Amino acid sequence: MNRIIILPVLVPFATALIMLLFPRRIAAHRLLGVLSTLLLSVVSAILLNSVLSGGILSLQAGGWAAPFGITMVVDTLSCIMLTMSSLIGLTTAIYSIGSVDEKQEHNFYHPLIQLLLMGINGAFLTGDIFNLYVWFEVMLISSFVLLVLEGKPEQFEGAIKYVTLNLLSSAIFLAAVGILYGMAGTLNMADLAMRLPLLEHRELLSVVAVLFLITFGIKAAVFPLFFWLPASYHTPHIAVSAIFAGLLTKVGVYAIIRFFTTIFTLESTPLIHQILLWVSAFTMATGVLGAVAQYDLRKLLSFHIISQIGYMIFAVAIQSPLAIAGGLLYIVHNIVAKTNLFYLSGIIRLISGSWNLRQIGGLYATYPLFGLLFLVPALALAGIPPLSGFWAKLTVIRAGLEAQEWLAVGVALLVSMLTLYSMIKIWNEAFLKDDPRGEDTGNRGQEYHALSSGKKIALIAPVVILGMLTILSGIWFEPLFVLADRASLELLDASIYSKAVTGGMP
């Protein structure tokens, strides 16, 4: 059973290799991309099933025992994240068939997406901090290339900010890893969780924790380190934006959750959790305020990513089992809804010929069903019952009330209103108001109608799949909550995790 732990990394790697061996077979690339992500989904389902029935799985690469070798660990949280990354990988692979043009495909678009998935999955799997750094780099290098694949000037402008900030973050990461290793003598997460409470010289513990917080804060785009995100996320191709929006920042959030529950607990670094609380409130507020002011669809949605990250960080800051469960639900809901919104905005662009809300209008009159498809993730993001976002938000806010963090809860509620406002703004501008170009809509939708029906299906299918998931996870919310609850209990009791990896000995 343990052997399949490595498959979420190996499958995309092998797929990318096969694609690179036949660099000119674009049709095969598309097919392989879908097949590989389908296989990934199956593997994550099997992993989820076996973790739920048999507890945490671990694998020692090369047979080197735990604190010395590289450990791969699959607990419930990893399983949830792996499932999400396979899902987004699958929908993006389908969506790319419809939206990405052949020039980019010849420039290794499909292999790069596979390598990106490999980095993301590796980060979710690893149980070793230095190995986490390596997976971050794998993910980042693929994302650098994907960001500038079309070679437009604004992409390079965005990429410079993106690359600089991420390299800085990697440097801080390495420094923190070095200090931590000097203090504790180990980088295995399970081993660290056992050793840190027993550490004699704890002076630097808070410093290291803050360094890790900055590193992952940059990757997760929290206040005040988020500014690379709105500067770069609207520049690449929309399919790339969608997978970035869905998964990349969430890897940062995943790392924050992993580090500040299992390794740096509330008792060992109380300062960090105070900082996290303030950071989360400001992240929620600044993100949504930025979104409200935007008229470019992609920029608006990019600012929303930041605002939503705030809710997840808020959950980590509170640290009660309910809060962590709520935070995980929020991640799941947000990955699905956010990616969906980016897919939809790509289709809006094809139909109306513009990203700018001022120049779009009247979509509801011509495409009423499409309007409904948009409403599902938009209302879910704002937290309207019975969609998935409502339950996630409810759980987080309930946990906040129990922890008596009135101020942050107030901010969270206010931000919800503003989120709803900005979603209504898209609805009003793009769907309800009359087309600003008046009756003369000669070339409206030309780009969309010029596509073959196969490509149209490839564009719409991912939106329908993710929309259905948003609705279904809202209606059958309970199994999801049980899953998140289980993950949060594992996270807060580090001994379960450590026992599964090292056998519980410090």
Partner 1 sequence: MNSVILATASRYLLTLILMFSVFMLLRGHNEPGGGFVGGLVAAAAFALYFIANGLDAARSILRVDPLRAAVLGLLLSFLSTVPSLVSGQPFMTALWIDTGIASIGKVGTPLLFDFGVYFLVLGITLTIIFALAEEECSL
Which residues would be at the binding site for partner 1 (CB under 8 A)?
2-3, 5-6, 10, 13-14, 17, 20-21, 23, 59-63, 72
Q: Which is closer to partner 1, CB of 108 or CB of 226?
A: 108
Of all residues in the chain, what percent are helix, strand and coil, respectively (each to 5)? 80, 5, 20
Q: Which is closer to partner 1, CB of 60 or CB of 268?
A: 60
Q: Which residue has the tokens 């990394």?
A: 9
Q: Which is closer to partner 1, CB of 61 or CB of 179?
A: 61
Distance in Å, CB of 269 to partner 1, minimum: 33
In terms of phi and psi (left: phi > 0; alpha: psi -120 to 50; beta: otherwise), the region of 438 is left
Q: Which is closer to partner 1, CB of 62 or CB of 479?
A: 62
DSSP assignment of 442-490 equals TTTTHHHHTS-HHHHHHHHHHHHHHHHHHHHHHHSHHHHHHHHHHHHHH
- CA distance from start to end of the chain: 26
Distance in Å, CB of 288 to partner 1, minimum: 43
What is the CB-side half-sphere exposure of residue 92 using CA atoms within 13 A? 32
- Alpha carbon 143 to its chain centroid, in Å, reads 13
Measured distance CA(378)–CA(372) in Å, rounded = 10
Q: Which is closer to partner 1, CB of 408 or CB of 501?
A: 501
Please compute Rg for the chain using Cα positions.
22
Distance in Å, CB of 114 to partner 1, minimum: 12
CA dihedral 143, 145, 150, 155 (to 10 degrees): 70
Distance in Å, CB of 18 to partner 1, minimum: 9
Distance in Å, CB of 159 to partner 1, minimum: 18
Q: Which is closer to partner 1, CB of 121 or CB of 470?
A: 121
**Closest to 330 (Cα-Cα) out of 279, 274, 266, 284:** 284
Distance in Å, CB of 60 to partner 1, minimum: 5
Amino acid (one-letter) located at 459: L
Distance in Å, CB of 170 to partner 1, minimum: 20
Q: Which is closer to partner 1, CB of 70 or CB of 80?
A: 70
- Scored b (16 or more CB within 10 A) or e, 380-396 reads bbbbbeebbbbbbbebb
Measured distance CA(326)–CA(480) in Å, rounded = 10
Q: Which is closer to partner 1, CB of 122 or CB of 252?
A: 122
315 neighbors 478 (Cβ within 8 angstroms): no
Distance in Å, CB of 72 to partner 1, minimum: 8
Q: Which is closer to partner 1, CB of 71 or CB of 388?
A: 71
Distance in Å, CB of 118 to partner 1, minimum: 12
Q: Which is closer to partner 1, CB of 20 or CB of 179?
A: 20
Distance in Å, CB of 67 to partner 1, minimum: 15
Q: Which is closer to partner 1, CB of 14 or CB of 424?
A: 14
Q: Which is closer to partner 1, CB of 60 or CB of 441?
A: 60
Q: Which residue has the tokens 């200090």?
A: 179
Measured distance CA(242)–CA(231) in Å, rounded = 15
57 three-state secondary structure: strand
Q: Which residue has the tokens 């996320």?
A: 233
Distance in Å, CB of 21 to partner 1, minimum: 6
Cα angle 469-472-475, degrees, rounded to a multiple of 5: 150
DSSP assignment of 104-130 equals HHHTTHHHHHHHHHHHHHHHHHB-BHH
74 three-state secondary structure: strand
Q: Residue 356's beta-bridge partner residues? A: 296
**Secondary structure letter of residue 235 according to DSSP:** S
Distance in Å, CB of 222 to partner 1, minimum: 34
Mutual angle of helices 388-402 and 368-382, in 10-degree steps: 10
